[in-house]
Structure 1
Amino acid sequence: MSGGGPHLPIRVLGRASPERNGTPVSHQKLSANSSTPFLEIPCLSMRTSDLFLTLFRFFLPPVIIGTVYIYFYPFFQQCSFPEARHAEAACYFGDDAKAAVPGELAPFRLLVFGDPQLEGHTSLPEHGHAELFPSLRRLWSHVERDGLSSFTASLSEESIRFWYQDLPKAFRTYHKKLDLWGNDLYLAHIYRTIHWYTNPTHVAVLGDLLGSQWISDDEFIGRSERFWDVVFRGGKKVPSLITDASSSRAEVLGANPKWKDMVITVPGNHDIGYAGDIDEQRIARFEYMYNRVNWDIRFALNDTTIIDPASLQPSSPELRLIMLNSMNLDGPVKAWDLYQESVDFLNHKLYHDLPSADSATILLTHIPLHKEPGICVDGPFVDYLPEHQGGGIKEQNHLSMHVSERILDGMIGPERSRKAIILNGHDHAGCDVYHSKQKALDLEALQSEDASSYEDKWDAKQYARSQREVMDTSLTGVREVTVRSMMGDFGGNAGLLSAWWDKETKEWKFDYDSCMFGVQHIWWAVHILDLVVLGFGIAGVLFKVIEGLSSPQRTTELKKKKQ
């Protein structure tokens, strides 16, 4: 200590102070002629069990909070399907902050995910076929071939390879395997938790189920089995009886509760490729492990109180789901037959097989429609393969303007008033857009001298900024939701789409919301802390038992020494 004050000797009081004349030194009084005071400090001792149990008690509350949060995060974030609100619910009384008529559970609730992109062995060093610690094998081979005389020279050479080649490669391999295992469980946690909490009627994944289209059939099957057995465990393929029907299959909405556990899968570029490299073999293996790339189904509303005003007969409004392979709608293409199949399916479902006037369409596909740069994170982009590889499309962010307008025009129907919504993936950041155009053609402009310059075109805006277009009765429109990826880097997102029939306006209505879990590090951190704290508790109990067993033995030994 600094300063001019006196320095005090320190006497430490312990549990087993040495004895002098049968009395512990720490308990003896200072002699009368001693003029130097002592500062006595007790010696604190903590048992090993006390240490672990203290750590257990300290970390237990935050661990419980974290665990409860990740398993009930939809509750804490108030995630739910948008409520079905009818026209009268738009009426307000006085200064009420809520609608006068409360919402109700929508009859159609689609839980939708985008781009899980499961990786596999091809993401490991040397595609998972790397030999671990080959230096040890080579060292043993040298000894077998040349005897122990070569051991020293071989050991010097192979030890360098062991430390600088084998160990780093082994670390990368097992780190990636752990990452793949944890990523599967993270995605499975999102699906299982949000599916249990929100109680959907239908489930869909909008493409890029896997992480690469350039993988072998065995690797494709292996990743697909993880998709069904781990990530979407409990989910079932849509039966081929439904997807392979030659004509649209019709069901009563809600009549088949098994739809809740069926997973509708849409092909993406990482599943079957882009137009420049799609072939029959990729389509075949996708349809074998999942479902058809192009199919549709109709759900009729189970409500006999709805009357058609024209015929005065009971009417059953229909909701039509169209699953479209958009990967080869633009060209040049590699496989012309597959391109023609997708185009024919699109034209037939949107232009020839016209549903009733009281129907609506939900289009599920992968590639987003064309938009101007700046509206979404991914702007328009297309790249092509070199000529010697066919010159087809190598990569694209959006469908072409021509194909996009073809889809939009078909969605609203010839009368330009049908209700529809589009859900897709591909852009991992997600986007929400409203496409609008005039509901009626400008006949005067078409008959004028400047008719050639008249453009009946679609305009796209972010949905949050398009309320004027949505409310404008002179415009028709289609909402397009690009569902944010469910991968950890994008927050583990899930989309929630509700559809219901409004008896007042006599039309289908849609609403969409999303629910995000958080990055994958949250899942890892909570479960690792769970294991650590559990280890503290178990260790504390074990040491407590050991200390309890050893205490009588120590007491006996002390008694023997005193005697």
Structure 2
Amino acid sequence: MRRRRPTTLSPSTKLADCLFTTFTVQLIALCLSIFVAVPLAVYTFYYPSFHPDLCSWPSPRSSRRDLSLLLFGDPQIRGADKSSSLRTHLDLFGNDHYLGHIYSTLLPRLRPSHVIVLGDLFSSQWISDEEFEVRTRRYKNRLFPSKFGVSPEPVFLNLSGNHDIGYAHDVTHSRVRRFEKHFGQLNFVVTGDDFRIIVFNSMSLDGSLNDNENGQAGFTTDVRQFLEDQMKVKFTGTTILATHVPLHKPPGICIDKPYFTYYGEKSEGLISEQNMLSEATSQWILDGFFGNGNAGNGVVINGHDHEGCLVRHKIVNEEHSWSAVPIATGNRRYQYDYDNFAGSGVLEVTVRSMSGEYGGNAGLLSRTWNATAQDYTFAFSICPFGVQHIWWATYVIGIISSCALVIAFIGLPFLDEKARRIFVAGTMTPPILNSDASKYYFGHGLPASQPPSGRQTAVNLFGAGGKAQKRD
């Protein structure tokens, strides 16, 4: 009888046996956690600490007259329907919680006096009422839930944007009605100690007063009358104008340049799209609120331009008009201190979008009392979190590393111990197939015969003198 040669392990098999031991699996799981998962989690949940100059107020609030405004630009949350793929639904779920993570991380750390979302809450003004309700619930429950244990809770303001109610010719009563039902009026004023925040519907400002097809002219009349009434108020404190569409700036000041499209002839004023207010409207607003030596008493905040921009509007005395002086634009990270005096001009802050494509930004605008100058000083910075892939990577790698740690430190040692009890010599000998059957006798001296190659002998263990039967 020929003896079978012992199987010789190949070099690759020996290497695999050496690598995939309990210890090496545990080491890999530890390295994944320590060097990848933990650093990602630390940055994700404490990212303001990595940018203290950008993600903190320049000085703590020492008076109730100090203002600290946390600003968010253009969330533009999208939607899906029953025909959308699983990937689309998963992407929307992740994007909602990514935006919500930015808010929930900054709110308890900064404890702002006001939180302002600068319009374009949703991605389209054309959605149905049912879809509007769905996105509203997502907006309030996932992105900006009201309770985070911050006391006192800040004043929360939502501005209307072109993707919420449409541009001038697209604004309809039904779109305005559903927006105001959940997010408040289009035009209103918030007042406090020595300050006022004026929120207005900038999409209708450049609309045609003759556009009465669906009542759009009424919205233009309303917003202009509202601003004229506020201009007449004798107010000596700080005026903060909150609008979605930025004021007019010449080309080269910001990344976006002036852009207008119309449904009909330009003279009709049926605006289809605009990325800035018209020059005439912008001059009217600046004159009405900040003319006659009041240029140092206010700030303009807005969104719409996803790239972001920071400028000063200074009056040109010779021409009695306003000119824009650039400060910063785009994804440049900046922190800007602004002294409040007439010659410095009016600060306009266009907050870079908070969407993942633009880096998950929040704007920090503060007003603090300067005891030396006996006046207020403004400061603005843009606080970035990062692209949405960071949020995804943190959770995906965190789940993977957690599972790996459980398997490596709980699962594998248990399996090793069980295998040790079963296969330790003297406890149980593993069955050997196709070996020398003459060593094994079953029943009453049952003779065994060598099975043919590739076949296994089945033995009847229940009857004396039973015969072995060949079985394929």
TM-score range, shorter chain: 0.7 to 0.9
C-alpha distance in 1, partners of 2:340/2:50? Answer: 36
Counterparts in 2 of 1:109 and 1:474: CA distance versus 1, 3 Å: closer
> How far apart are 1:258 and its partner, in Å?
4.2
Matching residue of 1:555: 424
Q: Distance in 1 between matches of 2:96 and 2:191?
A: 33
Asked whether the 8 Å contact 1:502–1:508 carries over to 2, the reply is yes
Count how many residue pairs are aligned between Structure 1 and Structure 2: 404
Structure 1 residues 233 and 369: alpha-carbon distance in aligned structure 2, compared to 1, 3 A threshold: same
Instruction: Give the equivalent residue in structure 2 for 1:482.
Output: 350
Q: Which amino acid aligns with 2:370?
A: D
Does the CA contact (< 8 Å) of 1:201 and 1:257 recur in 2?
A: no
Q: What is the SS of the residue equivalent to 1:189?
A: helix
Q: For each residue in 1:167-202, what CA deviation from the matched residue of structure 2 results, as whole angstroms up to 9, or x when unmatched?
A: xxxxx7111111101000100111111112222121
Find the counterpart in structure 1 of residue 73 from structure 2.
114
Equivalent residue for 1:406?
284
Instruction: Give the deviation of 1:51 after TM superposition.
Output: 4.8
Q: Which amino acid aligns with 2:179?
A: F
CA distance in 2, matches of 1:560, 1:476: 91
C-alpha distance in 1, partners of 2:151/2:116?
15
- Contact 1:493 1:517 (C-alpha < 8 Å) held by counterparts: yes
1:296 to 189, 192, 204: 189
- Structure 2 distance, partners of 1:555, 1:80, is 61
Residue 213 in 1 paired to residue 186 in 2? no
| 1:276-315 → structure 2 map (5 Å cutoff) | 276-300=169-193
Whole-Å separation in 2 of the counterparts to 1:503 and 1:411? 26
Pair 129,225 (structure 1): closer, same or farther in 2 beyond 3 Å? same
1:374 to 231, 249, 252: 252
Indicate conservation of the 8 Å contact 1:109/1:497, yes or no. yes
Is 1:75 aligned to 2:49, yes or no?
A: yes
* Deviation for aligned residue 1:503: 4.1
Query: In the TM superposition, what whole-angstrom CA distance separates every residue of 1:19-67 from its partner, at most 9, and x where no partner exists?
Result: 9xxxxx9xxxxxxxxxxxxx9x987545564453232112111211111
Asked if 1:460 corresponds to 2:334, the answer is: no
Task: State the alpha-carbon separation in 2 of the partners of residues 492 and 328 from structure 1.
Answer: 29
1:473-502 superposed Cα distances (whole Å, 9 cap, x missing partner): 883610001000000011000000111233
Q: 1:190 aligns with which of 86, 102, 123?
A: 102
1:272 and 2:165 matched: yes
Q: Secondary structure at the match of 2:382?
A: strand
Q: CA deviation at 1:413?
A: 4.5
**2:110 and 2:276 mapped to 1: Cα distance?**
31
Take 2:56 and 2:20, find their aligned partners in 1: how far apart are those partners? 54
SS in 2 for 1:344: helix
TM-score, length basis structure 2: 0.78
Deviation of 1:549 (Å): 1.6
Q: Alpha carbons of 1:561 and 1:269: their partners in 2 closer, same or farther (altered >3 Å)?
A: closer
- CA offsets 1:384-418 (integer angstroms, 9 cap, x no match): 1147xx86111001001111011111221544455
The answer on 1:340 being equivalent to 2:221 is yes
Alpha-carbon spacing, 1:42–1:233, altered in 2? closer, same or farther (3 Å): closer
SS in 2 for 1:463: strand
Q: Secondary structure at the match of 1:459?
A: strand
Structure 2 match to 1:53: 26
Q: Is the CA contact 2:283–2:322 (under 8 Å) kept in the aligned structure 1?
A: yes
Match of 2:40 in 1: 66
CA contact (8 A) 2:339 2:378 kept: no
Give secondary structure in 2 for the equivalent of 1:410. helix
User: What aligned pairs does 1:128-527 form with structure 2 within 5 A after superposition?
Assistant: 128-130=81-83, 173-234=85-146, 258-260=152-154, 262-300=155-193, 318-332=194-208, 333=211, 335-349=216-230, 351-355=231-235, 357=236, 359-386=237-264, 392-438=270-316, 455-463=319-327, 475=343, 477-527=345-395
Kindly indicate whether the alpha-carbon contact (under 8 Å) linking 2:207 and 2:269 is maintained by their aligned counterparts in 1: no
The verdict on how the C-alpha distance between 1:459 and 1:417 changes in structure 2, with shifts beyond 3 A counting, is: closer
SS at match of 2:321: coil
Query: Are 1:235 and 1:263, in contact at CA under 8 Å, matched by a contact in 2?
Result: no
Name the structure where helix makes up a greater proportion of residues. 1
8 Å CA contact retained: 1:213, 1:272: yes
The 1:415–1:520 alpha-carbon spacing in structure 2 relative to 1, beyond 3 Å, is: same
Contact 1:419/1:507 (8 A) holds in 2: no
Contact 2:74 2:306 in 1 (8 A): yes
Q: Which secondary structure state, in structure 2, belongs to the residue aligned with residue 330 of structure 1? A: coil
**Which of 535, 543, 551 lines up with 2:403 in the alignment?**
535
**Whole-angstrom CA distance in 2 between matches of 1:434 and 1:56:** 53
1:270, CA displacement in angstroms? 0.5
The CA distance in 2 between the partners of 1:539 and 1:472, in whole Å, is 61
CA distance in 2, matches of 1:56, 1:471: 53
Q: Partners in 1 of 2:171 and 2:66 — Cα distance?
A: 37
Could you tell me which residue of structure 1 aligns to residue 461 of structure 2? none
Per the TM alignment, residue 463 of structure 1 is displaced from its structure 2 partner at its CA by 2.3
- Contact persistence 2:309–2:328 (CA under 8 A): no
How big is the alpha-carbon RMSD for the aligned residues of Structure 1 and Structure 2?
3.1
Aligned residue for 2:414? 545
Farther off after superposition, 374-383 or 413-422: 413-422
Decide whether the 8 Å contact of 1:48 with 1:543 is kept in 2: no
SS of corresponding position for 2:285: helix
Q: CA deviation at 1:264?
A: 0.6
Question: Which deviates more, 327-336 or 264-273?
Answer: 327-336
Structure 2: where are the runs of 5+ without partners? Answer: 330-337, 432-438, 440-472
Q: Are the counterparts in 1 of residues 340 and 375 from structure 2 also a CA contact under 8 Å?
A: no
Determine if contact 1:267/1:366 at 8 Å carries over to the other structure.
Answer: yes
Q: Taking structure 1 as the reference length, what is the TM-score of the superposition?
A: 0.66
How far the C-alpha of 1:72 sits from its partner, in A, is: 0.2
| SS across alignment from 1:525 | helix
Code of the aligned partner of 2:407? A
Match of 1:264, as an amino acid?
Answer: L
Residues 385 and 285 (structure 1), Cα distance of their counterparts in 2 relative to 1, 3 Å cut: same
Counterpart secondary structure, 2:168: coil
Q: Deviations over 1:122-146 (max 9, x none)?
A: xxxxxx243xxxxxxxxxxxxxxxx
Residue 276 (structure 1) shift: 1.0
Does the CA contact (< 8 Å) of 2:361 and 2:384 recur in 1?
yes
Q: Aligned AA for 2:247?
A: L
Can you give the 5+ residue segments of structure 1 that lack an aligned partner in the other structure?
Answer: 1-16, 20-24, 26-38, 86-102, 122-127, 131-171, 237-255, 301-317, 443-454
In 2, Cα distance between the equivalents of 1:119 and 1:338?
A: 26
